[in-house]
Amino acid sequence: MKIEDIRRSAYSMPLTNPSFPPGPYRFFNREYFVITYRTDAEALQAVVPEPLEVAKSLVNYEFIRMPDSTGFGDYTETGQVIPVRFKGEEGVYVHSMYLDDEGPIAGGRELWGFPKKLARPKIEVESDVLVGTLHYGSVLCASGTMGYKHRPVDHETVLKGMRVPNFILKIIPHVDGTARVCELARYYLEEITLKEAWTGPAALGLFPHALADVARLPVREVVSALHFKADLTLGLGTVAFDYLAK
């Protein structure tokens, strides 16, 4: 393979057999179960990187079911998203993500810098309860429950939250182990069609684990819960801040 062929075709590894196709990526009937909870301000300050600023002592714990996505297929994801400010603009910082599919793990880490790890999240309806769980191996790390479709939620309120900028810390090491890329990436959800949105009483438990440390941001109070479905496009990103720039 010639040098020019590599330059023209390279976008992922392995070069001749990548784990995912080029984007953009469209999601159909993407199902969210989001529990917003209050945590310790000191815990948030310890994990949110400058120049982001912690907006409030809240965390969104998200379970996301993706039954139909271009390039990535059918998978489930869970993790923590933190409300932040960047240069005065409201947004969210993606702190942790756990999912069960190789393609979006590789694509998410390589393209955007999503903090994705392999685990076993689930979303299920059990009688009158919506249930979300995260297992890392055999160990239960997170358990969320919500009364199923108790009350509808205004769609504009949900859409406003979905349209804010999302920030991620993207790190790619050099061959000597030092950081070759260290950037604050920014992306948006695009072409959103919100289909339904609900709320209800909710509860969340986070449990200590050495490699799935969701309990590092402890639950002090459940503030609210949302359950909604949407079609959307995961927009490709831009660099908001370069940590290695002189």
**Which of 179, 17, 185, 20 shows the shortest CA–CA distance to 105?**
20
| 166 vs 64: CA distance, rounded Å | 16
Q: Is 116 a catalytic residue?
A: yes
- Among the listed residues 2, 116, 122, 149, the single catalytic one is 116
Query: Which amino acids are annotated catalytic?
Result: 116
